[in-house]
Chains A and B, each alone.
Chain A
Amino acid sequence: MPKATMILDAAAMQRALMRIAHEIAERNEDSAAVALVGIHRGGVFLARRLAGMLSGILSLTVPVGTMDIGMHRDDLDRQPAPTLQPTAIPFDVTGKTVILVDDVLFSGRTTRAALDAIMDLGRPKRIQLAVLIDRGHRELPIKADFVGKNVPTSLDEQIRVRFREEGGTDEVTLEKHGGA
């Protein structure tokens, strides 16, 4: 069994998300233009929760969509084709402040793909990035606007995010790759 260190438990994850929701509300005066897009898989759960929190804070219904960035990856011919989920964005992104939501920000390549995928759907007024965990090791000039927790990691470590929507409890752990 790999050695796992707890980064966020369920209560800490909830507090981190609530703080992000408040920061999104504070940062965006034009709250009616705010829309969330969760990146499969983890980002989808987080975007739905943030949309619920934000809708409460702003007293309006914040639209939420889901996006699979598999068709926009930059490594498609280097590994077996990824499993794709339909991208479902039930609103026009043009003119919106689209907040991309992902669970872990690592190399930045997923975010790059998501930016391209969003642009295919229209012309947002602006795009912001919200992540639960920023583990560093960026390979592209990308920075998150909203971060739940910064976690310095080494490359042989792995961040695992579990969600209650998948049947377990919310938690984020840090594990050694192939550790004993």
Chain B
Amino acid sequence: MSWNRKHLLDIQSLTADEIVTVLDTARAFKAVGERAIKKVPALRGKTVVNLFVEPSTRTRISFELAAQRLTADVINFNSEASSLKKGETLKDTARNLEALNADIIVMRHSASGAPHFLARFLRASVVNAGDGAHEHPTQALLDAFTVREKKGRIAGLNVTILGDILYSRVARSNIWAYTKLGANVTLCGPATLVPKVFEQMGCRVTYNVEEAIAGADIINLLRIQHERQRKTMFPSIGEYASLFGLTQARLARAKPEALIMHPGPINRGVEIDSQIADSGRSMILDQVTNGLAVRMAVLFLINGGKGPQEVAA
């Protein structure tokens, strides 16, 4: 057993052992989700606040259901209808939530490092649910859980991450998790979105999608983020689809047992062919189910006894 952390802020600072602890714990919570009564009293009397200062539906719903299945009380705080719109600082908002005796704050923010900032002065535990282009740790944990569940292991597997790497917090967390667990990671996408600097994280970088797919055990697609896409990064969605989209023809060159993953929401016909998304090789819905189990595990683990904690002013 190796979990003594109060917060889950990123994958970068976790050891492989800690990651495996989350995955092992999540196995037990996945079994809870398969029962008639999908609820356990592990967080009874605790309050979880979903502080989402950036729009999100699936991650928030997943955390909300995870907290409810642990019998915690849940408050959803979303940016559109909040005091942040009235000029309150993030620190004041968080202190107000803490004044309500929140035990765990799950935070999504457009600024990298925002959860780390909160964690420095809050007595509550902080879970990063995505910060800017920095990290999205629970996504990487649920992806690793899914890979281990389907393939029986992670070490030695060839994992290809295909798409917008540069602006993707999912990609960064995935790279940390997969490399710490011993997988060989290949990154591929338009050169503007996959800078060579990622080789410093221990990845192979290629701009040839056929080469990236050949030999892969896992093809982890990333969404083309229309809403944040800089116009200059690639000429058009159509061109991206034709150059980097996962088509039947391209998939035919992969290993027959290669599995497809995608954090969702998927853009059918852009990064993934519609038939592939619906095929038995697609793990997309397994990822959603496993996400719930992994988030229950994370909330359970960080709720574990906290000794005296240093809290900054």
Among A9-17, A84-92, A101-109, A162-170, the stretch in contact with B: A84-92
B17–chain A nearest beta-carbon distance, Å: 12
Cβ-based interface call for B37 (8 A): yes
A30–chain B nearest beta-carbon distance, Å: 24
Residue of A at shortest CB range from B103? A77
Q: Contact: A78 with B305, CB < 8 Å?
A: yes
* Bound CA–CA A78/B307 (angstroms): 9
A87–chain B nearest beta-carbon distance, Å: 6
Instruction: Knowing A81-B304, A83-B24 are in contact, say whether A76-B42 is a contact too (CB < 8 A).
Output: yes
Across-interface contacts of A76 in B (CB, < 8 A): 42-43, 300, 303-305
Partner of A68, one of B1, B21, B28, B30: B28
B172–chain A nearest beta-carbon distance, Å: 26
Instruction: Knowing A71-B32, A71-B40 are in contact, say whether A80-B304 is a contact too (CB < 8 A).
Output: yes
B149–chain A nearest beta-carbon distance, Å: 12
Across-interface contacts of A87 in B (CB, < 8 A): 28, 31-32
Residue of B at shortest CB range from A87? B31
Instruction: Knowing A76-B303, A80-B3 are in contact, say whether A85-B28 is a contact too (CB < 8 A).
Output: yes
Q: Contact: B1 with A86, CB < 8 Å?
A: no
Across-interface contacts of A68 in B (CB, < 8 A): 28
Cβ-based interface call for B231 (8 A): no
Cβ-based interface call for B27 (8 A): yes
Majority SS at the chain A contact face:
loop
Cβ-based interface call for B35 (8 A): yes
Cβ-based interface call for B41 (8 A): yes
Q: Contact: A84 with B24, CB < 8 Å?
A: yes
Cβ-based interface call for B301 (8 A): yes
Instruction: Knowing A79-B305, A80-B304, A83-B1 are in contact, say whether A71-B41 is a contact too (CB < 8 A).
Output: yes
Q: Contact: B1 with A77, CB < 8 Å?
A: no
Across-interface contacts of B304 in A (CB, < 8 A): 76-77, 79-82
B281-307 residues at the A interface, CB under 8 angstroms: 300-306
Q: Contact: A81 with B300, CB < 8 Å?
A: yes
Cβ-based interface call for A43 (8 A): no
Q: Contact: B301 with A72, CB < 8 Å?
A: no
Residue of A at shortest CB range from B304? A81
Q: Contact: B1 with A82, CB < 8 Å?
A: yes
Across-interface contacts of A120 in B (CB, < 8 A): 35, 37, 39-40
A112–chain B nearest beta-carbon distance, Å: 12
Cβ-based interface call for B25 (8 A): yes
Residue of A at shortest CB range from B26? A84
Residue of B at shortest CB range from A79? B305
Across-interface contacts of B32 in A (CB, < 8 A): 71, 87
Sample (25) of A-B pairs whose CB atoms are under 8 Å apart: A71-B28, A72-B40, A72-B41, A72-B42, A75-B305, A76-B42, A76-B304, A76-B305, A77-B304, A80-B3, A80-B304, A80-B305, A81-B3, A81-B303, A81-B305, A82-B304, A83-B21, A84-B29, A86-B28, A88-B31, A116-B41, A117-B40, A120-B35, A120-B37, A121-B37
Q: Hey, which bits of chain A sit against chain B, CB under 8 A?
A: 68, 70-72, 75-88, 116-117, 120-122
Q: A72-B42, A81-B25, A86-B30 are in contact. List 18 more A-B contacts (CB 8 A).
A: A70-B28, A71-B29, A72-B41, A77-B46, A77-B306, A78-B305, A79-B304, A80-B4, A81-B303, A81-B305, A83-B24, A84-B29, A85-B28, A86-B28, A87-B31, A120-B35, A120-B37, A121-B36
